[in-house]
Structure 1
Amino acid sequence: MPSGKVRWFDQSKGYGFIENEEGRDVFMPAAALPLGHKTLRKGTKVEYSLIEGRRGPQAMNVEIHASAPSLVKATRPKPDDMAAIVEDLIKLLDTAGNGLRRHHYPSAAESRKLATLLRAVADNFDVQE
């Protein structure tokens, strides 16, 4: 069976490409993915059956051999650091909540700051395996 690494895969488009051992691209439709998988991370090592499609080589019956490590997971803050960030965010949200109880939204600058912090914290919690 030929092998390679996932070059990219777009779940919304329903296809992606594998870079084979010779460095050539092989088309990979979503139907070729193993049961239970809807997408594959870039760099995942795979083996596959090869057929000749209308536009060139096409992968079928893809088998995952090694999933690429998550860059997001590897760069997450340490739990102690994250605890301090969450506590600071709670203080900021509490201040905003008190203002809202008095019928006043935070200023535009404070709102942007809060939204940016909330997104950043959410990204650190939402790690895909």
Structure 2
Amino acid sequence: MSPDELHFLESHEWVGRDGDLAVVGISDFAVNQLTDLVYVDLPPVGSTVTRGETFGEVESVKAVSDLYSPVTGEVVEVNGGLEENMATLSEDPFGDGWLIKVRPTDEGTEGLMDAAAYREFCTTADQ
């Protein structure tokens, strides 16, 4: 997915559309801040995620960080490939490094940043 087409939370999760599904991941900024990712804990297929609430965590050699959902809905797919190759998350966070796919019950992006606003947010957050 192109980062310019995504919407972001301040906690660095992104959401994009794939047909009627919402694809959720974490940004390259978050990956670079965490460095050396070693584990990701994701919800099972069939579970419900709620916008603004935690749905899992990502662990690096430095820290464990909660993952927050930018949408509400049912998890319909989990990126199981990350268990075998966490490097995918670092190498392609906006593509093959996606985390979950959700059938959303909320359609809007209100309260989420577009790509330009997110880049500006990261510029000020990195200082």
Q: TM-score range by the shorter chain?
A: under 0.3
Question: Relative CO higher for 1 or 2, CA cutoff 8 Å, sep ≥ 6?
Answer: 2
Work out which of the two has the higher radius of gyration on C-alpha atoms and give 1 or 2.
Answer: 1
Larger strand fraction of residues: 2
Larger helix fraction of residues: 1
